[in-house]
Amino acid sequence: MSMWDSDYSPYTNPTTAWNNQLRQLSKQRQYREALTLYRHMLRSSFFPNTFTFPFLFKSCAFLSLPLTASQLHAHVIRTGSKPDPYTRSSLINTYSKCSLPHHARKVFDEMPNPAICYNAMISGYSFNSNPLEAVKLFRQMRREEEDGFDVNVGQVQLPVAKSVWHPSIGNSSFFLWSPGNPPKEVTDFFAQHRKQFP
């Protein structure tokens, strides 16, 4: 593959051409090749933009490369790129998949408007077996929705549902339920941990 395929023309922004190749590698699950291509991109004196990094963060997440993810995060800052919410969401997901939920939460807390990233952060807590923080964040999101902020609650109910476990069964047991009809194990969980929720 090259930047010189049918998608390329003399009028194509070179960075866009590189991004197209990164996207194709990501779609084909060739994650190591995507990271290698990025190194070639830098050595060729082309600079990344906002659309470059989500493909790279996805590669780090699937390959579980926390150090590479941190280096890319630093590169976002050094290059002066202004990460959009989707780039930040990818970074939150990557840190979570690399078992670094504290790093993910730092990215989330630094966002001026984190509404679009609630799902990524709550899913991250679920992935790292931290149901209390997942539910706390879900409740925070609901309060923001009630205050008029643009938050899509429907997209984040499922990860929260997956996060709630019952101590008598074990951390590996998760529950899904229909709105308004939680099973007894879930209501018992909330009753037991009520004081821990704001």
Domains and CATH numbers, the chain: 1-112 (1.25.40.10), 119-198 (no CATH)
pLDDT of residue 195: 55
Q: Which of the residues in the chain have pLDDT under 70?
A: 1-12, 82-83, 145-198
pLDDT of residue 54: 93
> Amino acid letter at 61?
A
pLDDT tens for each residue of 76-102: 888 777 668 888 999 999 999 999 999
Q: Which residues are 178's β-sheet partners? A: 181
* Residue in the block written with tokens 């939680």: 182
pTM of the model: 0.73
Instruction: Assess contact for 39 and 11: CB atoms under 8 A.
Output: no
C-alpha span between 40 and 18 (Å, rounded): 10
Instruction: Assess contact for 110 and 85: CB atoms under 8 A.
Output: no
Q: Which letter does DSSP use for residue 99 in this model?
A: T
CA distance to 53, 92, 93, per residue, from 85 (Å): 12, 10, 12
pLDDT of residue 19: 94
Q: Which letter does DSSP use for residue 117 in this model?
A: G
pLDDT of residue 193: 56
> Amino acid letter at 170?
G
Instruction: Assess contact for 126 and 135: CB atoms under 8 A.
Output: no
pLDDT of residue 50: 86
